[in-house]
């Protein structure tokens, strides 16, 4: 939201600056009095500088310059100024217009008009005007300054986005801390380490595995589900399977409708959980490192699942000597998740740190507890770039059943 607000403000500021009418400024310099003179003449010339400033803005001067240059008199009144440096006896005429040529023409026109008035009305040396530096058409406008307006607009958008996010966080139901997650789900909660590519780093699956061993010793099947499709449960399921496999267990990851494992591991064309629920004998696909997967082409849309069928699938896998990690979509999106929750030993609820909300957490936790699921705890997942792209180990299906795959 902050990035979008900053980007929109930058584009709006840039667009408005580009559409604004440019303003050019040209300047002419005149010397009042002679270059070399006695002290009396210098004092008289200094006193005359203020008079020429008044004459430069007089209606007669403005009207005469407007006729000579063709510039609108109203623009001359607002864009023409004369200033003076009494000590140096320098008179500066500044003119602004919408074109560079008009700005230079106005400044030079006023200078010529003042020189003519000085020659006609003040033959004395003290009142003489000499053009020192004539105005030339400027190469670039003085406004709008796109290089200044665009960054200022972006800064305004950034501050506005920050303020909006703070208001929404204060007024919303964000669950971004362990305390908020625990209160929403009404079960213990723990936070997972940030995602990193360092091989020696602790993975979230290792934390969940150790915690399950403490709070649910002897559990052989666990369900991971969350409150949204982007909660990170797919990554956590594979990390948990890798952690259990590292302890010497054979582990089967069951894609119970979420579709992440099926898609990432390329199991769309292989028989999987749908066929197993129908009572067919299906061998899980070996991924490597004692980890296997049970996905299938219809895993993302299982429809109605009978608890007895789900129980048979889980019990058959456990009876074959495997630990089972079931990854299912949110119960609010896929009612079949509740059937799986009833037949596994324990359930872990996953919430994303940056997108988790208290109300969905409460709804899913209540639904799981109403069907008698053993909700062990909730984890606060840090999220990451790719739901499954940096799991440890990175696994791939074996080419043939019974042939051990090598970690990628």
Taking the model in full, what pTM does it have?
A: 0.56
User: pLDDT tens digit string along 144-195?
Assistant: 878 888 889 899 999 998 888 878 766 667 777 788 888 888 899 888 887 7
* Beta-ladder partners of 294: 254
User: pLDDT tens digit string along 353-393?
Assistant: 777 788 888 889 999 989 999 999 999 888 754 433 333 33
pLDDT over 80 at 123, yes or no? no
Indicate the Cα dihedral angle 62, 63, 65, 66, nearest 10°. Answer: 110
DSSP state of 1: -
pLDDT over 90 at 196, yes or no? no
pLDDT over 60 at 407, yes or no? no
10 Å CB burial of residue 40 (0-12, 13-18, 19+) is: exposed
Mean pLDDT of 293-299: 68
Distance CA 282, CA 277 (A): 10
Q: Cα 304 to the chain's mean position, in Å?
A: 39
List all residues 6 or more positions away from 291 whose beta carbon is below 8 Å from its beta carbon.
238, 241, 242, 245, 251, 252, 253, 395
pLDDT over 90 at 71, yes or no? no
User: pLDDT tens digit string along 268-288?
Assistant: 778 888 888 888 888 898 888
Higher pLDDT, 351 or 301: 351
- Length of the chain measured in residues: 408
End-to-end CA distance of the chain: 37
**Domain range annotation of the chain:** 21-133, 176-381
Indicate the Cα dihedral angle 65, 67, 72, 75, nearest 10°. Answer: 10
Strands 285-288 and 221-226: unpaired
pLDDT at 387: 38
30's enclosing H/E stretch is strand 24-32
Q: Would you say 258 and 385 are in contact if contact means Cβ atoms under 8 Å apart?
A: no
- Of 110-124, 323-337, 371-385, least confident by mean pLDDT is 110-124
User: pLDDT tens digit string along 73-111?
Assistant: 888 888 888 888 877 788 899 998 888 999 999 999 998
CB count within 10 Å of CB 274 equals 21
Q: Which of 25-34, 80-89, 313-322 has the highest mean pLDDT?
A: 313-322
Structure confidence at residue 201 as a pLDDT band (50, 70, 90)? low
Higher pLDDT, 166 or 220: 220
Residue with tokens 């582990």: 251
Indicate the Cα dihedral angle 161, 167, 168, 172, nearest 10°. Answer: 170
Q: Would you say 128 and 54 are in contact if contact means Cβ atoms under 8 Å apart?
A: no
Q: Would you say 129 and 49 are in contact if contact means Cβ atoms under 8 Å apart?
A: no
pLDDT at 217: 93
CATH topology of domain 176-381: Rossmann fold (3.40.50)
pLDDT over 90 at 326, yes or no? yes
Q: Annotate 171-184 with b (16+ C-beta within 10 A) or e (fewer).
A: eeebbbebebbbeb
Structure confidence at residue 261 as a pLDDT band (50, 70, 90)? confident
pLDDT over 80 at 126, yes or no? no
Nearest to 337 by CA among 258, 261, 237: 258
DSSP string, 150-219: HHHHHHHHHHHHHHHHHHHHHHS-B--SHHHHHHHHTS-EEEPPPP---TTSPPHHHHHHHHHHHHSTT-
pLDDT at 16: 85
CATH number, domain 21-133, options 1.10.569.10, 1.10.286.10, 3.30.2130.30, 3.30.70.1130: 3.30.70.1130
pLDDT over 80 at 402, yes or no? no
Q: Would you say 103 and 131 are in contact if contact means Cβ atoms under 8 Å apart?
A: no
pLDDT at 57: 86
């Amino acid at each position: 939201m902050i990035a979008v607000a900053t980007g929109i403000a930058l584009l709006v500021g840039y667009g408005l600056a580009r559409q604004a009418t440019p303003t050019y400024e040209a300047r002419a310099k005149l010397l009042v009095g002679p270059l070399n003179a006695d002290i009396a003449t210098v004092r008289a010339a200094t006193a005359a500088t203020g008079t020429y400033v008044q004459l430069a803005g007089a209606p007669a001067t403005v009207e005469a310059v407007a006729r000579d240059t063709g510039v609108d008199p109203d623009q001359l009144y607002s864009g023409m100024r004369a200033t003076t440096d009494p000590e140096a006896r320098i008179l500066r005429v500044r003119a602004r217009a919408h074109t560079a040529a008009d700005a230079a023409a106005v400044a030079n026109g006023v200078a010529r008009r003042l020189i003519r008035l000085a020659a006609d009305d003040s033959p004395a040396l003290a009142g003489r005007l000499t053009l020192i530096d004539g105005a030339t058409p400027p190469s670039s406008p003085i406004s709008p300054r796109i290089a200044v307006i665009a960054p200022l607009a972006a800064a305004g958008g950034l501050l506005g986005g920050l303020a909006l996010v703070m208001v929404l966080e204060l007024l919303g139901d964000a669950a971004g801390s362990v305390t908020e997650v625990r209160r929403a789900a009404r079960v213990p909660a723990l936070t997972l380490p940030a995602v990193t590519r360092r091989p020696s780093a602790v993975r979230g699956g290792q934390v969940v595995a150790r915690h399950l061993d403490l709070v649910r010793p002897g559990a052989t099947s666990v369900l991971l589900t969350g409150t949204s499709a982007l909660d990170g449960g797919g990554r956590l399921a594979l990390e948990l399977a890798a952690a259990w496999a590292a302890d010497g267990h054979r582990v089967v990851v069951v894609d119970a409708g979420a579709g992440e494992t099926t898609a990432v591991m390329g199991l769309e064309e292989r028989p999987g959980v749908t066929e197993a629920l129908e009572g067919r004998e299906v061998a899980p696909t070996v991924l490597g490192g004692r980890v296997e997967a049970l996905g299938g082409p219809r895993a993302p849309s299982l429809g109605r699942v009978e608890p007895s069928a789900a129980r048979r699938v889980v019990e058959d896998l456990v009876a074959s000597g495997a630990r089972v990690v079931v990854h299912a979509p949110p119960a609010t999106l896929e009612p079949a998740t509740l059937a799986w929750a009833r037949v596994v030993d324990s359930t872990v609820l996953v919430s994303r740190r940056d997108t988790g909300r208290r109300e969905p957490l409460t709804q899913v936790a209540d639904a799981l507890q109403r069907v008698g699921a053993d909700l062990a705890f909730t984890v606060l997942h840090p999220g990451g770039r790719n739901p499954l792209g940096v799991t440890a180990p990175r696994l791939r299906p074996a080419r043939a059943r019974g042939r051990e795959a090598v970690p990628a």
